């Protein structure tokens, strides 16, 4: 071999090894929404748009989309599977119920390793034993557990590199969201809003798990920052103590950040939705109860709240505000869209938080007549707030009201998608209501802290779920696809003019992004309550989704739960590709012959 050639080969090999050793970098994460050979973050980009520019699978070729492989999570630990897979370096990293994770060969489905977190007795997750995914950084894959820990595993071996506790499960804390990497920091929230915890966002060094800053999302609590040695110093109180909370209720105020966050490089801000104030009985906590039911924008460098917008002040219906804030461009400005549990879709200026538009995305809303665009506040319907139990004759139960949407929300954990091609949001919405009443309640550490009772009710006998294409500028529903059962899985949209989403009945299906016409569906064998992803490898586009019925609906769904009790649990990941496809958008000559023969 010639010396020059040998030298070139050695140089190339060293460069390749160096790139591999570097693992996932901040630069790679910054391009995640535009690169197509991997999926490095929850949301297919930190902005959370869940859009891929891939076009090989499109409205013309999707008839040839077939299963490539399927992998079973096995055992008896099924329940709800809400995870979004990540793909890097030829591997798929996917989490499952009961705080488990697998690394799989992304092309064949072969298991490379498995990590099963040892959970203690006494965990109290509110809404099933789910996990929504992981984060990749350097050579690590990082995820949270039901017992409120963060675990970082070596991507190649699955060995534990570091492990840190978020908080005490005895106080009601847990963790279910996919962590977020933003600006070299690992950002996480907390779950447990039904147990009187205090919501917050934490920033850590993703390589070590060491704390950098903490920002509480309940007004009156102190934020902190940490030096390299782990020493803690005060970093300012969140909000103004006592301004929007009466008495001592702020000390157990809820506002959990259980869905995780998004990050926009153009604004430098991370956005976290916050959950319901505690307890549910709003008559105990007269006031707006900041920063519950809000979008909170954080400066990731300082851990300070730059702006906040409250979707449901003094929430009395458990509407939360935890849903994702998805940033996008509109008329030359950076905006953020949010389909809130309370039934309204909000558009805010992503830099300032100023409300730009707000409109209902479900057909029935009873708690408010609309949102005042000047003040940003809802126009409440006072008689549709659950009654004060102390006003009753026996003081044990307040007056019952029918409220819509139900506390399960116009949209719950199932993430929406945004297409820069159509300029539409694709929202998995649900039409349902509830009977709800208030009861007396006192705080007890680690116990359910509601002060309310409820029964979920159907509204329309024909359907509950509806995937809706929504124009954020006009507020119009451009098209919808109705579904008998509630939609509880996320959405993916692509440059191939497609929208993918799953149903509890077990189907992964795709529609024309412009018209809503369903052009493909596949039965996965169990309900889909997870968001699909897509990537390319070796000239082929792959589509993947996790299947496994569960989540909050069968646990909390009342009359709706009875309607879908025939659905079977499961636990698997399905991967699809085009029959005979190559790198060309139209597919290979062989595949075209197969398609022609099929006709």
User: What residues act catalytically?
Assistant: 318
Do residues 578 and 65 touch, judged by C-beta distance below 8 A? yes
DSSP state of 138: B
Residue 409, sorted as left (phi over 0), alpha (psi -120 to 50) or beta, turns out to be left
What φ, ψ does residue 597 adopt, rounded to 5°?
A: -65, -35
* Dist CA 4 CA 596 (whole Å): 50
DSSP labels, 411-464: S-SS--EEETTTTEEEEEEE-EEEEEEE------TTS----EEEEEEES-TT-S
Biggest CA-to-CA distance, the chain? 97
Q: Which residues does 154 contact at the CB level (< 8 Å), separation at least 6?
A: 139, 140, 161
CA atoms within 13 A on the CB side of 426: 34
Chain centroid offset of residue 185 CA? 19
Distance CA 199, CA 533 (A): 29
Distance CA 417, CA 47 (A): 10
Nearest to 299 by CA among 333, 255, 267: 267
Q: Beta-strand (E) ranges in 446-526?
A: 452-458, 465-470, 477-483, 491-494, 498-502, 507-512, 518-523
- Please tell me the distance from the alpha carbon of residue 413 to that of residue 571, in angstroms, as a whole number: 18
Start-to-end C-alpha separation, the chain: 53
Strand partners, 544: 533, 575
């Amino acid at each position: 071999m010639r010396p020059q050639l040998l030298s070139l080969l050695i140089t190339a090999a060293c460069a390749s090894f160096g790139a591999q050793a570097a693992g996932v970098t901040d630069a790679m994460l910054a391009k995640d929404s535009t690169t197509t050979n991997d999926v490095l973050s929850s949301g297919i980009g930190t902005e959370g748009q869940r859009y891929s520019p891939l076009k090989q699978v499109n409205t013309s070729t999707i008839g040839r989309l077939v299963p490539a492989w399927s992998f079973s999570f096995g055992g008896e630990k099924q329940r709800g599977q809400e995870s979004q897979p990540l793909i890097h370096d030829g591997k798929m990293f996917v989490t499952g119920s009961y705080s488990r994770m697998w690394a799989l060969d992304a092309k064949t489905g072969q298991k490379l390793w498995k990590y099963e977190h040892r959970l203690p007795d006494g965990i109290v997750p509110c809404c099933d034993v789910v996990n929504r995914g992981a984060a990749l950084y350097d050579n690590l894959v990082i995820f949270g557990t039901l017992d409120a820990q963060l675990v970082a595993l070596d991507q190649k071996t699955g060995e534990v590199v570091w492990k840190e506790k978020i908080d005490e499960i005895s106080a009601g804390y847990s963790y279910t969201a996919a962590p977020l990497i933003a600006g070299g920091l690992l950002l996480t929230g907390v779950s447990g809003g039904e147990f009187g915890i205090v919501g917050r966002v934490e920033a850590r060094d993703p390589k070590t798990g060491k704390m950098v800053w903490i920002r509480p999302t309940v007004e009156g609590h102190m934020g902190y920052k940490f030096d390299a040695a782990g020493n803690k110093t005060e970093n300012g109180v969140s909000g103004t103590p006592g301004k929007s909370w009466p008495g001592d209720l702020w000390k157990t105020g809820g506002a959990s950040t259980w869905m995780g966050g998004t990050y926009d490089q153009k604004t430098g801000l991370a956005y976290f939705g916050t959950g319901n104030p505690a307890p549910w009985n709003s008559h105990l906590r007269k006031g707006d109860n900041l920063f519950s039911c809000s979008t909170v924008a954080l400066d990731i460098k300082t851990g300070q709240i730059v702006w906040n917008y409250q979707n449901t002040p003094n929430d009395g219906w458990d509407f939360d505000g935890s849903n994702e804030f998805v940033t996008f461009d509109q008329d030359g400005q950076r905006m953020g869209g949010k389909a809130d549990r309370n039934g309204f879709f909000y558009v805010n200026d992503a830099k300032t938080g100023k409300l730009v538009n707000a409109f209902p995305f479900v057909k029935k809303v009873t708690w408010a007549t609309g949102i005042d665009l000047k003040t940003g506040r809802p126009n409440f319907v006072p008689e549709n707030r659950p009654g004060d139990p102390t006003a009753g004759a026996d003081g044990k139960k307040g007056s019952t009201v029918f409220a819509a949407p139900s506390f399960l929300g116009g949209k719950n954990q199932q993430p929406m998608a945004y297409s820069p091609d159509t300029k539409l949001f694709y929202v998995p919405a649900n039409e349902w209501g509830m009977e709800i009443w208030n009861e007396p309640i006192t705080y007890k550490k680690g116990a359910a802290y509601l002060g309310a009772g409820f029964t979920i009710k159907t509204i329309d006998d024909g359907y509950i779920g509806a995937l809706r294409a929504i124009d954020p500028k006009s507020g119009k529903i451009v098209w919808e696809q109705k579904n008998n059962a509630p939609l509880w899985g996320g959405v993916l949209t692509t440059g191939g003019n497609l929208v993918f989403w799953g149903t509890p009945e077990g189907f992964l299906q795709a529609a024309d992004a412009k018209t809503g016409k369903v052009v493909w569906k596949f039965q996965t064998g169990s309900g889909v309550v997870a968001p699909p992803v897509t990537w390319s490898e070796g000239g082929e586009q792959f589509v993947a989704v996790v299947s496994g019925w569960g989540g909050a609906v069968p646990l909390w769904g009342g009359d709706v739960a009875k309607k879908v009790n025939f659905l079977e649990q499961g636990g698997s990941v399905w991967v699809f590709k085009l029959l005979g496809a190559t790198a060309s958008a139209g597919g290979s000559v062989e595949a075209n012959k197969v398609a022609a023969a099929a006709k």
